[in-house]
Amino acid sequence: MEQDPHTDEQINHILSMNNVAVVGMSKNPSKAAHYVPKYLLDNNYNVIPINPTAEQILGKKCYDSVSEIDEDIDIVNVFRPSDQVLSVVLDAIKKKPKVIWLQEGIHNLEAEDLAKKEGIEIVFNRCMFAEHQRLLT
């Protein structure tokens, strides 16, 4: 699978943003959808879990969807299968995030084009944890 064309400088800029809604955040510590946002929390990001099956994860209140969050969102980090990304993006657009970040193995051209038309940057097939480690540690 291809990767988005962002340069290291552009990824660095994105990683400087603080408010990260994590769609599909998991309660299971062995899943990437848990340990990646935990890493972000440990590195001073404001992580907001999106998981309709949980009340709290890592001590943070869970929301059913991105559009329910009361605060501004910089990055929507998506841990959902590629075929579920379009509905996530449609919901996320309501909050006007700066970036939608699709984790490794996730790519949905229709959703990505829609986000771009709304002026939202798209990162796909990359891991925030791996990019943070590669560029900032």
pLDDT digits (tens, 9 = 90+) for 13-40: 999 999 999 999 999 999 999 999 999 9
Cα–Cα separations (whole angstroms), residue 8 to 19, 21, 55, 77: 20, 22, 36, 18
Determine if the pTM surpasses 0.85: yes
Distance CA 117, CA 26 (A): 30
Angle, alpha carbons 72-76-77 (nearest 5°): 145
